[in-house]
Amino acid sequence: MSVIIIGAGPAGCEAAYRLARSGESVELIEKEAEIGGNLNNWYQLFPDRKQAADLKAKLRKNIEHPQIHLHLKSKPVAFSRQGDGTIQLTLDDGALITGKALLVASGFRTFDAHRKEEYGYGIYENVITSVELENAFINHQINTSTGHAPKRIGLIHCVGSRDEKICRLYCSKLCCVTAVKQAIELREMLPEAEILCFYMDMRMFGPGYEEMYREAQEKYNIKFVRGRLSEASEDREKRLIIKVEDTLVGKPLKMTLDLMVLMVGMEPAEGNDQLISMLNLQTAPNGFIQVSDPHSGTNCTHQKGIFVTGCSSSPMNLTDTLTDARSAAVTISEYLNS
Ligand code: SF4
């Protein structure tokens, strides 16, 4: 009997590979037609600027392991247990999969920026998200809606995170460093542009992050303004007029931008609530899956034999996601051998 993994993003692929290497057979279920999850929307990784496509290729190669059976375009629709505890999962194509343990690696989705209407996403053409900027990097093209190279670009931190108005109090952890990385990439592509990051406070906790932040200021001349965007509007030339409260000097600030990038945070994955309900799991206060203990049970849920990894339980960066997936594989191996 196998270990069932829901989600073939970085966490699911890494856990599948580690479990297969330790002798387990794995049923890896992915709702999309391709593996990789949110990694597919990334151009370069931080802090080493490694190509996201290279990491995905490595994950892809790893899951070609003979012990891993990949189900693409598949979603679980029903869950049950047999008397001996065996897990049964029915997929939307009618297939029935049984397993000794189940790992949820369903990941996250990015915040829908339409919900911050005052920022003008979906209303003004020159307001884009950090995900759309990554795609522009992949295509090597950064232009305004009128086809010009932007002369002044603002990156807005904490969009969909740390925001009482939309009931998202948590920090998404990776958008500060993403903003710094994207600001540097913009500088390399547009050496003449003025680039500003508007932040609440800088959360650069990972190895190499602080150095990258310093380099962004000293070597790449990125300006960091401590302040929160209150609203955006548009002039006749489709330039954006933004109002920001500069919280360091305590003054309101008004300026025009050619392009505004919203650093969208993380939300629980699409279908998270249905999955929690189907598997009889618990929802954490931040809407992600509740783990059994925040210190010693970070890969365990309140259901025996059901485990969780990566951003299914809370926002985390890619490095921590891969580490967490290896931790989940060890936890499951111990459970199966106990
Ligand atoms: S990582 Fe930075 S931008 Fe993202 S939510 Fe936390 S403080 Fe805001």
Q: In terms of Cα–Cα distance, which of 279, 274, 273, 277 is closest to 87?
A: 279
Ligand 1, atom 1: closest residue by C-alpha = 173
Ligand 1, atom 4: closest residue by C-alpha = 175
Cβ–ligand 1 contact at 263 (below 6 Å) = yes
Interior/surface letters 143-163, b for 16+ CB within 10 angstroms, e for the rest: ebeeeeebebbbbbbbbbbbb
What does pTM read for this prediction? 0.94
Please indicate, yes or no, whether residues 84 and 123 belong to a single structural domain of this protein. Answer: no
Cβ–ligand 1 contact at 203 (below 6 Å) = yes
* pLDDT tens digit at each of 338 positions of the chain: 799 999 999 999 999 999 999 999 999 999 999 999 999 999 999 888 899 999 999 999 999 999 999 999 999 999 999 989 899 999 999 999 999 999 999 999 999 999 999 999 999 999 999 999 999 999 999 999 999 999 999 999 999 999 999 989 999 999 999 999 999 999 999 999 999 999 999 999 889 999 999 999 999 999 999 998 999 999 999 999 999 988 777 888 999 999 999 999 999 999 999 999 999 999 999 999 999 999 999 999 999 999 999 999 999 999 999 999 999 999 999 999 98
Residues 16, 27 contacting (CB under 8 angstroms): no
Counting from 1 in the atom list of ligand 1, the atom nearest the Cα of 162 is 5
Please indicate, yes or no, whether residues 223 and 283 belong to a single structural domain of this protein. Answer: no
Counting from 1 in the atom list of ligand 1, the atom nearest the Cα of 174 is 1
Q: Which of 229, 251, 266 marks a domain boundary? A: 266
- Residue 303 Ramachandran class (φ > 0 left, ψ -120 to 50 alpha, else beta): beta
Please indicate, yes or no, whether residues 163 and 213 belong to a single structural domain of this protein. Answer: yes
Count of H-run helices and E-run strands, the chain: 7, 16
Cβ–ligand 1 contact at 173 (below 6 Å) = yes
Cβ–ligand 1 contact at 162 (below 6 Å) = yes
Counting from 1 in the atom list of ligand 1, the atom nearest the Cα of 176 is 2
Which domain range does residue 324 map to? 2-107+269-337
Cα–Cα distance measured from residue 117 to residue 100, given in angstroms and rounded to the nearest whole number: 46
* 3 state DSSP class of 208: coil
Cβ–ligand 1 contact at 16 (below 6 Å) = no
Cβ–ligand 1 contact at 172 (below 6 Å) = yes
Q: In terms of Cα–Cα distance, which of 30, 21, 24 is closest to 56?
A: 30
Provide the domain count of the chain: 2
Which residue has tokens 């992949």?
138
Q: What is the helix (H) or strand (E) element at residue 249, kind and residue range? A: none
Please indicate, yes or no, whether residues 39 and 126 belong to a single structural domain of this protein. Answer: no
Which of the listed residues 177, 180, 203 should we mutate to test ligand 1's pocket, taking the one with most ligand atoms within 8 A of CB?
203
Query: 200 alpha carbon to ligand 1 midpoint, in Å?
Result: 8
Please indicate, yes or no, whether residues 160 and 207 belong to a single structural domain of this protein. Answer: yes
Query: 10 alpha carbon to ligand 1 midpoint, in Å?
Result: 21
Q: In terms of Cα–Cα distance, which of 12, 41, 2, 57 is closest to 324?
A: 12
Please indicate, yes or no, whether residues 313 and 211 belong to a single structural domain of this protein. Answer: no
Cα–Cα distance measured from residue 155 to residue 130, given in angstroms and rounded to the nearest whole number: 8
Q: Which CATH number fits the domain that encloses residue 160?
A: 3.50.50.60
Q: Which of 250, 266, 282 marks a domain boundary? A: 266
Phi, psi of 246 (to 5 degrees): -75, 105
